[in-house]
Chain A
Amino acid sequence: MEQVLLKGSEAIAEGAVLAGCRFFFGYPITPQNEIPEYFARRLPQVNGTFLQAESEIAAINMVYGAGGTGARVMTSSSSPGMSLKQEGISYLSCAEVPCVIVSIMRGGPGLGAIQGAQPDYFQAVKGGGHGDYKNIVLAPSTVQEAADLTYQAFDLADKYRNPVIILGDGILAQMMEPIVLPNEKQDFPEKNWALNLDKNRPRNVISSSYPIVEELEKVIIRLNQKAEIMKGEVRWDTLQVEDADYIIVAYGTSARIAKAVVRQAREIGIKLGLLRPITLWPFPYDAIYSLVPQVKAFFALEMSTGQMIEDVKIAIGRERPVYHIGRYGGVIPRVNETLEKITAVAKG
């Protein structure tokens, strides 16, 4: 297999192109500018359209328009821009418009800093927009996974008629790794619900408006049932959990640091294992819970003051202690400082 050296953001963009994405709408923001820049070069080569919108609000609503026709469409942004997209994401979810939304987190709140961080877990996973809705959230941890998960995200979005979010951070977006790209997708599902060019179908409407509350309630129940089915897409990865006395839970860039922590912990005799959620929604509750009998304590390593940790606590209840470890605002947690905190608990 031929390897190519790509940045995380380029891998995301090329993964999308290979998945048949031909429309991209976005607004510049660091640290994800390489994604729109890649599309601006690449999409004209495949007869696609790149459009730099006047704002993230406009971009997400262009996605709503284009996705409603049945086209494979994507947008990307970073923290402040993702805040602006939330109303649109709520509309996309309710109107069941498939699309892929890439959120490359940076230090926040406010304008914050442009360095990679993980403070937007709640925004992506718990629904930063209004109303009851659920989106699949995929968290790549390597450049290879960035390409693969983006590629698969388009199929998931079409399969469930639902937005899919790729949640990465500035570090992943900027790092370069050699990867093998997926094959160009050839078969695409039919979309009889879409505003497509088939003239023999009845008219279609893309809408999230249900003025009669009993009808809206039915829609919410149906969306919720769909969410139950989407929970079947749960994915996670583990490292040395078989004999572990302690488990560190981490996703994305934090999981890369956690891998080094596991290695070093083992060198000093602490049996540490890693559980890395790949889907943040659905969250691998059962996988984490299954480790409870063998494990003395859990650690949640994240580049925020503690967001994912709430899901870890939901997974295990009060059966074991869960400790938060993290650095904030774009400061990267160091392996040795993380290990020190784990050692303090383990040596008690």
Chain B
Amino acid sequence: MKKVIVKPKVLHNIPWHYCPGCTHGIVHRLIAEVIDEMDLQKDAVGVASVGCSCFNYDYFDIDMSAAAHGRAPAVATGIKRVQPGRLVFTYQGDGDLCAIGTAEAIHAAVRGENITIIFYNNGIYGMTGGQMAPTSLPDMKTTTSPYGRNVQETGFPIKMTEMLALQEGCVYAERTKVSNPASINKTKKAIRKAFELQLSRAGFTIVEILGTCPTNWGLDPLQAIKWMEEKLEKQYPTGILKNSKGDSVICDKK
């Protein structure tokens, strides 16, 4: 039989803990494929955050540092300042990045820190059981907004990647989704672009990826993909939010 698809080298062959139909796994695979293709296994450091993806330090077969909730960009900064030549990326959920970790993310962008944030946005706190996130949609029912997110009381969905893109130190910000082969390919290209920019020491890069949480959305995997495209994407339109001076060096940290 002809092998049409193989496991990327930098993914460990162990069982993952993600729920059936969850798209975290797709994003992991894309990151792994890009690291493989760029031949960076020995030159990459991943920073795991706290959320459903918090055990991915066991999934990627590269050096990993597991950060406290929200602090991954600060941890990545510490690593990058010692090892400016290595690829340093964080993998963060929307609770991690947009609530508790807002300050660390914004200031990493402000400094033009040469790191890449991979931001998995599913509009909810997955790991802790489906609580409201700053990204939750208006009227969205979660375990802490059981009557639907009331924007008068809890505010509107946060525009985190837009805020990061506003900072001069941010050279590249793109929002993608992982709902079908075309969008998955696009996401992979975005990750590669961000990594390449980082290696050229261009500055801060972020790829926001709309993903699912079928378990806490209360939907089956296919319904969840549909909901992501119809509802989440409506609030968070995909596309390039910033792509400035792609190949010039704006801040070389030695």
Contacts and interface: CB of A to CB of B under 8 A. Distances in A.
Interface string B63-80: 111111001001111111
Contact of A58 (B57, B80, B104): B104
Given A65-B79, A66-B82, A68-B78, A206 B64 contact: yes
Interface string B45-86: 101100000110110011111111001001111111111001
A203 B62 contact: yes
Nearest to A44: B254
B79 A66 contact: yes
A49 interface: yes
A195 B79 contact: yes
B110 to A, nearest CB: 8
A199 B42 CA distance: 6
Interface residues of B, number: 34
Interface string A30-63: 0000000000000000010101011101110111
A319 B58 CA distance: 53
Nearest to A66: B78
A113 B220 CA distance: 57
B107 interface: yes
A88 B45 contact: no
Contacts of B86: 197
A57 B71 contact: yes
B103 A195 contact: no
A28 to B, nearest CB: 15
Contact of A51 (B63, B66, B81, B83): B81
Contact of A69 (B62, B79, B103): B79
A67 interface: yes
Contact of A61 (B57, B63, B75): B75
A208 interface: yes
B81 A53 contact: no
Given A205-B57, A207-B66, A58 B42 contact: no
Nearest to B107: A54
A262 interface: no
A326 to B, nearest CB: 35
Contact of B67 (A25, A64, A71, A199): A64
Interface string B84-103: 00100000000000000001
A197 B84 CA distance: 11
Nearest to A206: B65
B77 A23 contact: no
A203 B63 contact: yes
A87 B61 CA distance: 27
B227 to A, nearest CB: 29
A302 B49 CA distance: 41
Contacts of A59: 74
A257 interface: no
Nearest to A200: B42
B72 to A, nearest CB: 8
Contacts of A66: 78-79, 81-82
A224 interface: no
A195 B63 contact: yes
Contact of B107 (A58, A63, A206): A58
A61 B66 contact: no
A321 B199 CA distance: 65
B252 to A, nearest CB: 13
Given A25-B78, A54-B107, A66-B78, A88 B71 contact: yes
Contact of B78 (A65, A197, A208): A65
Contacts of A290: none
Contacts of A61: 67-68, 71, 74-75, 78, 104
Contacts of B80: 65
A142 to B, nearest CB: 32
Contacts of A87: 68
A51 B82 CA distance: 12
Contacts of A63: 78
Contacts of B81: 23, 49, 51, 62, 66
A55 B103 contact: yes
A195 B104 CA distance: 22
Contacts of B67: 61, 64-65
Nearest to A208: B66
Interface in A161-176: none
A51 B77 contact: yes
Given A49-B81, A207-B64, A65 B55 contact: no
A301 interface: no
B21 to A, nearest CB: 22
Contacts of A58: 71, 74, 77, 103-104, 107
A336 interface: no
Contacts of A54: 103-104, 106-107
A293 interface: no
7 contacts: A23-B78, A62-B81, A65-B67, A71-B82, A195-B63, A205-B63, A206-B64
Cβ-closest 5 pairs across A and B: A65-B78, A66-B78, A61-B74, A207-B66, A62-B78
